[in-house]
Amino acid sequence: MPNSIVRNATGERPQSEVYEYVACPFCGIICDDLEVEREDSTLTVRKNGCGKSIAGFERRLPPASPMVRGKDVALSAAIEEAAALIGQAKSPLYGGLATDVEGMRAVMALAERSGGIVDHALSEAQYRNFKVLQTTGWTTSTLTETRNRADLIIVLGSDIHELHPRFFERVVSPPDSMFDVTAPRRTVVFIGKGPDLSTADGPRIGEVVTLPCEIDRVGELLGVLRARLRGFRVRPLDLEGITLADIDALANRCRNAAYGVVVWAPPSLNFPHAELTVDQVSGLVKDLNQSMRFAGLALGGAEGAVTAGAVCAWQSGYPLRVSYASGAPDYDPYRFAIGRMLADDEGDLLVWIASFSPDLAPPATDLPAIVLGTPGLKLSQPAAVFIPVGTPGVDHAGRLVRVDNVVSLPLKDLGRSALPRVADVLASIQAAL
């Protein structure tokens, strides 16, 4: 029986189950049309999988048990030791935060109780967006609006398909849309070096244009584009491979679009002061919205990053990098960046959560570490306490916030293992304080 947990007379799951309309927790788009089959504890993606989803769902879990200082212990003993360490800490750092909505709520509750600091492992990329949103605001679209309405899509950077393998299939060139107003064939413009044009294929894609710009100069290109849209004269361009005629052609495409969308992924903007590029995107969208419809669309959001930022904002009013040392939420995007704090030997305990990928290991540190991680997590050094936890959407049900921040999607329990939820482990630790 698909889409449900069917148990036999003894209360156990059947050996084999097939699940339809499965939401994938392994990238921020959270595609929810997968079909996954379970045979005992082995999962196989049968339909609509990509490389990320297949690697995530079909990964075989190595044996793992709770450990205290390298020795196997009962889960209750690991929880007691973790509670003791947190109770003794004056400045515990809650990092990683790769979990679902319920897990992140539990993080916030424990951080408030223990006077801790909260920050996601991937927040440095997120802050390329947050800084702009906080200072100037922006106009953004959603995955659904882009899928249904856009006739011009401008993609910044060349690795969108690596972060989100099904973005073009699901959003740029879907088989159908909700509204008749959608252009039958949309124009796609790539701004970046070496884009993989094979992804820009399908019945809904018409003209494909490339502007080969180094990623750290995209902001400069957008600045010239904004100037030309306003009718200003500019000096000859110093952008290799791009002429002013190319910029003017793009300006005309923008003017003639019924609904244009600029797409970028903050993890791709990995260079100093990349928030200035996002600021140019925001400014371009504002300029164009004076006379037409244009919007931005930020991607990314792996490892539950969007969920962590959303839940932290719901409960504290701030998007991560929050300290509860005073008993109330205190926000500072520099002082409470856990990556910087660890590099500067600040804090006295690291609590690291990584329930999705074995690659999100905690950074090397001399601090004692409590790690709640998926089995096989690649630790560079033994943790003071290690507790293996389940993956939301695989080992237990849960919820994740999608990359466009408009919906939280339900995740199914596929029955791969009986590992505990992050939320339950953290609640038990808090109860033991």
pLDDT in tens, 144-199: 999 989 999 999 987 788 889 999 999 998 877 776 655 578 999 999 887 777 77
What type of residue is 301? G
- Per-residue model confidence (pLDDT) at position 5: 36
Number of folded domains that form the chain: 2
- Find all residues with CB under 8 Å of 249, minimum gap 6, and list them: 209
Same domain, 187 and 262: yes
Q: Which two tokens stand for residue 87?
A: 């109770």
Scan for tokens 């500072």, then name that residue.
Answer: 332
Q: Is 184 exposed, middle or buried (0-12, 13-18, 19+ CB in 10 A)?
A: exposed
Q: What is the pLDDT of residues 32-54, one digit of tens each?
A: 999 999 999 999 999 999 999 99
Rounded distance between C-alpha atoms, residue 189 and residue 153, angstroms: 6
Q: Which of 227, 215, 216, 219 is nearest to 281 (CA)?
A: 219
Any idea what the CATH number is for the domain that residue 115 is in? Answer: 3.40.50.1220
Q: Within this chain, do residues 193 and 252 fall inside the same structural domain, yes or no?
A: yes
**In-domain check, residue 8:** no
At 373, which amino acid appears?
G
211 with 315, same domain?
no
* Strand-pair category, 152-156 with 186-191: parallel
Q: Are residues 136 and 111 in the same domain?
A: no
Residue 55 within any structural domain of the chain: no
Q: Are residues 285 and 224 in the same domain?
A: yes
In 10 A of CB 331, how many CB atoms? Answer: 15
300-311 pLDDT per residue, tens: 989 999 999 999
Tell whether 307 and 250 lie within a shared domain: no
Which CATH number characterizes residue 228's domain?
Answer: 3.40.228.10
Query: Does some domain include residue 10?
Result: no
- Say whether both 332 and 274 belong to one domain: no
Does residue 392 register a pLDDT over 90? yes
pLDDT (0 to 100) of residue 179: 65
State the pLDDT at residue 160.
85
Q: Is residue 220 part of a domain?
A: yes
Out of 300, 329, 352, a domain closes at 300
In the chain, the percentage of residues whose pLDDT exceeds 90 is 79
If asked whether residues 264 and 339 sit together in one domain, one would say: no
Cβ of 177: how many Cβ atoms within 10 Å?
Answer: 16
- Classify residue 157: in a domain, yes or no: yes
Q: Which domain holds residue 348?
A: 67-122+303-392+418-432
Residue 431 has which token pair?
């109860």
Write the CA distances from 239 to 193, 242, 279, 370, integer angstroms: 12, 6, 20, 49
For residue 24, give the nearest of 3, 8, 45, 4 by alpha carbon. Answer: 45
Same domain, 183 and 323: no
Residue 180 in any domain: the answer is: yes
Based on the fold, state whether residues 137 and 271 are members of the same structural domain. Answer: yes
Residue 4's contacts (CB-CB under 8 Å, 6 or more residues apart) are none
Structure-block tokens of residue 113: 């109780």
pLDDT for 8 beyond 50: no
| Domain final position from 300, 327, 342 | 300
27: CB partners within 8 A, 6+ apart: 52, 53, 163, 164, 165, 301, 302
Maximum pairwise Cα distance, the chain: 78
- For residues 359 and 367, what is the distance between their CA atoms, to the nearest angstrom? 20
pLDDT of residue 182: 59
Q: Which two tokens stand for residue 23?
A: 């939401």
Whether 71 and 133 share a structural domain? no
Q: Please report the pLDDT score of residue 2 as a whole number.
A: 35
192 domain-assigned: yes
Stated pTM of the model: 0.92
Domain boundary among 300, 319, 340: 300
280 in the same domain as 144: yes
296 is a domain residue: yes
Burial class (CB in 10 A: 0-12, 13-18, 19+), 415: buried
Q: Are 98 and 360 in contact (CB under 8 A)?
A: yes
